[in-house]
Structure 1
Amino acid sequence: GVCAGLSWMSGNWSIMQMSSLAPPTSYVAPPPTNTSQWPPPPDWKAPSFTRAAQFRVGATLVLFLFAAVSNLALLGSVWCGRGRRLASHLRPLMLSLASADLVMTFVVMPLDAVWNVTVQWYGGDVLCKLLCFLKLFAMHASAFILVVISLDRQHAILHPLDALSAHRRNRVMLLLAWSLSLLLASPQLFIFRAIRVEAVDFTQCATHGSFSRRWQETVYNMFHFTTLYVVPLLVMSCCYSRILLHIHLQHLRDKAGESYLRRSGTDIIPKARMKTLKMTVVIVLSFVVCWTPYYLLGIWYWFQPDMLRVTPEYVHHGLFVFGNLNTCCDPVIYGFYTPSFRADLAACCRRTKSDASLRSPDRLSARHKADPATNNQAGH
């Protein structure tokens, strides 16, 4: 199937096994439960919860816990903590990035883990369509928001005097990013459905039967590969290339003795702006490093489906887990470059430790003995 827009991103290799089946010679009318029935091929074997899949589930749960806590902390810091001191045009960007990572965390990771454990699909047709839509929506939103951040940094460095319009411009770009994510994910609602294999009591959420030819599914996959990875990568690369070229030209002017430009306010990059630029570059690089191996694996599968029999199962599962690591990287990178976020975390830890010590049995006993009113009531 094409869950998350890519057949190999389905969360379970059993979906890919079903969607690679040849279309049946005669269509079997779906039963009243809106679950399509398909006869199993002669050599079809139901998948199982393998050791590699168990590793994938365990690693995904660890990433889920870390990503949930760290991204919620980031969201809280920027929304109501010291992160409110960020520039007004930067706050919506970081809030959107944390929100997109949380959608990935609470939709993609649990769905992937549960699906690997159950192997087949038990959620019904409506939930099949909805979750596959949400999965692709989350992945698009995460990529598009990084594009918006890159465009914002480019404008801030190349046009530093145009900061007044940055807030309105970023709001428009963020609205466009979220809207495009919804639009591009909407086909999932129509091509996915619960499919039941006759005679073997096996149901799966897949796209089998939605494409009459294999090349149509490949085109669909390649389209989402382009929107999820190629276009964002090209735009981000263009933005940061222009930024690097601008900085390089500034250094050349300085070496040429044009010292008056250094104090003009247009050619020098303030330390705070440069620090934000470094942070966004690292965030983009983490996205590229984490997801590139998995996308390359998907391209290989599209054009050579037999690669599933060639590569070990641990490779497939490991690369997907490595891609999800990107969701955990963003708050870590933000914390590394932002002292206010670290201060909020330290304050939260101190409050938690203080509350725990106040609720400890020894402290409660000491307070009970030291409270005269309590002692008098006990005497009565």
Structure 2
Amino acid sequence: MLFATVETLTFLWILFACIVLGNSAVLAALPKGRKSRMNFFIMHLAIADLGVGLVSVLTDIIWKTTVDWHGGNFGCKVVKFAQVLVTYSSTYVLVALSIDRYDAITRPMNFSGSWRRARWLVALAWAASVAMSLPSIFLNGEAIVHGRLQCWIELELWQWQVYMTLVAGSLFFIPTLLIAACYSIIVYTIWKRSKILKAFVFCWSPYFIYDLLQVYGATPKTQAAIAVATFIQSLAPLNSVANPLIYCFFSSNMCRHIRHEALLTLSPHEPPSL
């Protein structure tokens, strides 16, 4: 957090714009008044991803700009809780969607009447996200780091190793296995859905691989390594850019809705010709 280059800040601003614009477009393009389980999951996924941009990325940009933490100890705990919450919710809603798609293929006769199960899946995803975010309230606090006031987690090396291993397992490895299991079972449609898993692994693997290597002492402690670490840590919200592209812009129906909404907004209203 103490090291941020102009390139990193520029990348974060671009990332912020892509997340906010992409997911806002998805929410605006969702059909109004027509119930669809897929649209229900997409709506919650877009809300979670929009939160990643507005809560996680934006506060990270401000913090990297000011360098020092100016939000107070209470603000530190609230911001960290919110950042962890939106990050987990984005992942867990994606897992819930994968389970729902699995349910749609393996039990098609019961699928039409399982709206209640869909709501429970989404509610469970958000509840699990809240539960996984609660420790951040107690772990984070104001601390002087290298002579500057920061919102920080003060842990011993072995505690960092345990912490990062648990976070990597709950936020990356277990969700990846669940998503892979669900879509591996859907043999007929796996070629359509495989882009979900590929994007998830591509977006998250650099972050967790580097962080795990770092806490286990496998990376050099040089200025260049710090710059690389700062940039890689900024890649974490990249999945929130990919999600609207995968689920919506690659969907012909969603593309049609987005084009329709854009034409209604941008085209001038001409009076009918006589």
**TM-score for both structures, normalised by structure 2:** 0.89
2:18 equivalent to 1:72: no
Look up the match of 1:348. Answer: 261
Look up the match of 1:285. Answer: 198
Residue 146 of structure 1 and its aligned partner are, at CA, apart by 1.3
Larger Rg: 1
Look up the match of 1:103. Answer: 51
Residue 303 of structure 1 and its aligned partner are, at CA, apart by 0.4
Q: Deviations over 1:226-259 (max 9, x none)?
A: 1001110111111122222xx4xxxxxxxxxxxx
Look up the match of 1:327. Answer: 240
Q: Which residues of 2 match residues 228-247 of structure 1 at below 5 A?
A: 228-244=171-187, 247=188
2:98 equivalent to 1:146: no
Look up the match of 1:204. Answer: 150
RMSD value over aligned CA atoms?
2.4
Residues 298 and 320 of structure 1: CA distance in aligned 2, closer, same or farther (over 3 Å): same
Residue 103 of structure 1 and its aligned partner are, at CA, apart by 0.9
2:136 equivalent to 1:188: yes
Residue 278 of structure 1 and its aligned partner are, at CA, apart by 5.1
Q: Deviations over 1:136-179 (max 9, x none)?
A: 11111111111111111111112211113331111111111100
Residue 281 of structure 1 and its aligned partner are, at CA, apart by 3.1
Query: Which amino acid in structure 2 is aligned with residue 243 of structure 1?
Result: I
Residues 121 and 323 of structure 1: CA distance in aligned 2, closer, same or farther (over 3 Å): same
Look up the match of 1:225. Answer: 168
**SS class of match (2:27):** helix
Hey, which bits of structure 1, 4+ residues long, moved more than 6 A?
none
Counterparts of 1:140 and 1:79, CA distance in 2:
26
Counterparts of 2:92 and 2:107, CA distance in 1:
22
2:5 equivalent to 1:59: no
Query: Which amino acid in structure 1 is aligned with residue 222 of structure 2?
Result: R
Counterparts of 2:83 and 2:211, CA distance in 1:
17
Residues 133 and 279 of structure 1: CA distance in aligned 2, closer, same or farther (over 3 Å): farther
CA contact (8 A) 1:149 1:280 kept: no
2:82 equivalent to 1:134: yes
Identity within the alignment, %: 26
**SS class of match (1:184):** helix
2:250 equivalent to 1:337: yes
Residue 310 of structure 1 and its aligned partner are, at CA, apart by 7.7
Counterparts of 1:142 and 1:280, CA distance in 2:
17
Counterparts of 2:65 and 2:73, CA distance in 1:
19
CA contact (8 A) 1:146 1:284 kept: no
Look up the match of 1:20. Answer: none
Residue 194 of structure 1 and its aligned partner are, at CA, apart by 1.0
Query: Which amino acid in structure 2 is aligned with residue 100 of structure 1?
Result: A
Structure 1, gaps ≥5 residues long? 1-11, 15-47, 248-273, 359-380
Residue 96 of structure 1 and its aligned partner are, at CA, apart by 1.0
Counterparts of 1:239 and 1:336, CA distance in 2:
23
Choose which of 183, 193, 212 in structure 2 pairs with 1:299. 212
Q: Deviations over 1:274-311 (max 9, x none)?
A: 4xx65543223211111101110011011007534285
Query: Which amino acid in structure 2 is aligned with residue 217 of structure 1?
Result: W
Look up the match of 1:89. Answer: 37
Residues 75 and 280 of structure 1: CA distance in aligned 2, closer, same or farther (over 3 Å): farther
CA contact (8 A) 1:279 1:337 kept: no
Counterparts of 2:256 and 2:54, CA distance in 1:
26
**SS class of match (1:194):** strand
